[in-house]
Amino acid sequence: MSAKIERIEGTKFRATVGGFEILTGRVSEDLPPEGMAAGAVLFAAIGLCTGTRIVEQMNNRGWEVGAVRVNVRPKVSKDMNRATEITMEVELEADLTEEQRLEILKEAGRCFVSNTIKSTPEVRIDLNLV
C-alpha cells in the first residue's frame, strides 16, 4: 500500500490510495477548506480502523454486531506540534458477556493504525528537486 500526494493549489492536496481519494486543505486563506486537515485524517483513520477491527473480530467469532460509533478525542500539544494522547470512546450495539466485551476491547486496540502509531515507525523523507 502506498499513497500518492499531490498539491492541487494553495494548501489544497489530493491523496490517492488504491484508486480512492481524500482532499485536504484549501486553495487560499480567503476560501473555506475543501477537505479535512491532514491531522484530522490521522484521527479519522484510527477511528475507522478501530471500528473495522471490532466488526471483523466479532464476525470472526460469530457474534452479532449492530451499530458501531467511535469518538476520537486527541489531546494536542501546540508546543510539541503533535498529539500527546488519543482517547477513543466506542459505542457498540451488541449483546456481549463481560468476558466477550473485554476480549473485543483488547482486539479494538490491535488495528493496523493503532499498531503503527504505538510502535513509533521510523519516518524517512527524501527530497528531490524537479
pLDDT at 33: 93
Burial class (CB in 10 A: 0-12, 13-18, 19+), 104: buried
Burial class (CB in 10 A: 0-12, 13-18, 19+), 123: exposed
Number of domains in the chain: 2
DSSP letter assigned to residue 44? H
Say how far apart CA 38 and CA 44 lie, in whole Å: 10
pLDDT at 92: 97
pLDDT averages per 10-residue partition of the chain, 130 residues: 95 96 94 92 96 98 98 94 95 97 96 94 95
pLDDT at 1: 82
107 and 46 part of one domain:
yes
Say if 128 falls within a structural domain: no
Say if 126 falls within a structural domain: no
Full domain range(s) for residue 80: 37-118
